[in-house]
Chains A and B, each alone.
Chain A
């Protein structure tokens, strides 16, 4: 699903007067939507502009003075957060945390989802119902025992612990999403491959996987953004003090510099830049993934 093509319900206007009439009758809608657009854009734009303004000026003039055309801009804020405030290090940590915490769940979920969709074994449906039930278990339900478990495994406060926690928590949703996709693949296709003597593993690898790229992409993007944007797991499991991802780093900045907007604004945009690139380049998969993920 994308944001949908505009369905032309009405015939195109034929004459100039018709066109003018239509614009006038629709004026309230245009005005209302313009206000909606402003409300949804201005908060983000305001912070974006602020991230490029000299610290000394942010507290004396509002970012909206840009409409009067009298603001100065600088890259100092980004230089400062990336360098002395450690956001470059945190950016790298976010990548280190997110890439395995996306690849591993996609792999394990694809395996299990195929098993639930196309391999026969006893209690298959009951086990799948348990997976569906686990979808909603909040992270809070496992925090304390996981800290103990990871401590005894020697991975508490290490990237490994965070990868494991994110992978385990991604499983119910990923299995659910991919299994529901795999089940729609034509049975004949899989039977035909079986008759040709392909092993279950080969059917999975050479028939099912190539056909499932859109579903895998939706899940991968959803999971990537979930981990990238995560705060709670990182607060508990991320390596301190040098392994913190950007979300926890911004949380720290808020504690120390609650009104240093030049730092907070630049740091926030560093978190946002990757999701925004994903949003604009892979919009279709992105919306699909997020809508499907609403069960989580």
Chain B
């Protein structure tokens, strides 16, 4: 028995005594399990990301100065304001807000009917569809020809002339954001609906007994109790907005002109035009915007680790 114990106790010491100092304590098991992933991440993600940062500084700070102050395709402060970063902010406000509001309304209504599962599945369905297909679906809905485009057909019934929703700078962002909300609202519905089920019916009954109206219950009880899931949805959709590419690229390629461009599409356009250092600059700006979310994630993980 004593031999076995001694052998077990001494095993780590043997492992520790081998190899260079920074590898001490690493054993074959650790290398086999995390080695491949660490190698892949280092070579194909971390190293390229560092190269991109270096590339963006190829001309010193020139690329950044140009992008942030002298590129109307990125940010134009002339009236009306525009540029890809401005459009991303529009998306952030109206797409994120729209998904949360619609998600809340649908989730609350759905809990009160027997076909809850069906309605939630219907709204969630677009989450399964490639943004490429989603883009075609909505190009069709917005078609300027009232014999093919559903919206112009409906407007035709009430005597409104057909509108080129995606070809008109006034409407294009609204049209895209509506398609985006249609694609993502199901995510908000499912999260909020799960959270709603966590609110005890006793609290709601008590409020009703005290004479609260349904509107008051919604604003004073349900919304505050949903603040955490709502913030989770907001963070998620914010990440979506910064990375938004497929839908805009498929539906308008950022057009007409630059009217509906977003940063991820602008990065790809610069990349395609072989302006590599400039496109790297746009990519770094995307990363910088995401850093606060990254820190938030790491903090959240650190606080959870205590539990684990």
Q: Within the complex, which residue of A4, A46, A139 is in contact with B193, where a contact is CB–CB below 8 Å?
A: A4
What is the interface of chain B mostly: helix, strand, loop, or mixed? helix
Q: Which chain B residues lie closer than 8 Å to A52 at the CB level?
A: none
Interface string of A266-292 (1 = CB under 8 A from B): 011101100110110001001100110
User: A34: shortest Cβ distance to chain B, in Å?
Assistant: 9
User: B229: shortest Cβ distance to chain A, in Å?
Assistant: 11
**Interface residue stretch chosen among A66-74, A78-86, A142-150, A210-218:** A142-150
Q: Within the complex, which residue of B22, B44, B182, B245 is in contact with A168, where a contact is CB–CB below 8 Å?
A: B44
A232 touches B268 (CB 8 A): yes
A265 touches B190 (CB 8 A): no
A231 touches B27 (CB 8 A): no
Interface string of A117-158 (1 = CB under 8 A from B): 001111001011101111111111111111011000000000
User: A59: shortest Cβ distance to chain B, in Å?
Assistant: 6
**Interface residue stretch chosen among B65-73, B85-93, B114-122:** B114-122
B75 in contact (CB, < 8 A) = no
User: B49: shortest Cβ distance to chain A, in Å?
Assistant: 5
Size category, A interface: 35 or more
User: A113: shortest Cβ distance to chain B, in Å?
Assistant: 9
What is the interface of chain A mostly: helix, strand, loop, or mixed? helix
Q: What is the CA–CA distance of A120 and B16 in the complex, to the nearest angstrom?
A: 13
Q: What is the CA–CA distance of A275 and B127 in the complex, to the nearest angstrom?
A: 10
Q: What is the CA–CA distance of A103 and B147 in the complex, to the nearest angstrom?
A: 45
Q: A36-B123, A109-B37, A272-B129 are in contact. Are A43 and B140 (CB under 8 A)?
A: yes
A39 touches B41 (CB 8 A): no
Interface string of A76-114 (1 = CB under 8 A from B): 000000000000000000000000000000001101101
B209 in contact (CB, < 8 A) = no
Q: Within the complex, which residue of A120, A145, A204, A251 is in contact with B48, where a contact is CB–CB below 8 Å?
A: A145
Q: Which chain B residues lie closer than 8 Å to A171 at the CB level?
A: 37, 40-41, 45
Q: Which chain B residues lie closer than 8 Å to A63 at the CB level?
A: 148
Q: Which residues of B are at the interface with A, using a C-beta cutoff of 8 A?
A: 22, 24-27, 29-30, 32-34, 36-38, 40-41, 43-49, 51-52, 55, 105-106, 109-117, 119-133, 136-141, 143, 145-148, 150, 153, 182, 187, 190-191, 193-194, 197, 201, 232, 236, 239, 242-243, 245-246, 249-250, 264, 267-268, 271, 276, 279-280, 282-284, 286-287, 290, 293-294, 297-298, 301-302, 305, 308
User: Can you list the 7 inter-chain pairs with the closest CB atoms, starting with the nearest?
Assistant: A115-B33, A112-B37, A229-B130, A145-B48, A168-B44, A121-B30, A145-B51
- Offer 14 A-B interface pairs, CB within 8 angstroms, sorted by A: A4-B116, A36-B109, A40-B123, A47-B140, A58-B148, A112-B36, A125-B305, A141-B287, A145-B51, A247-B132, A268-B132, A276-B129, A283-B121, A295-B297
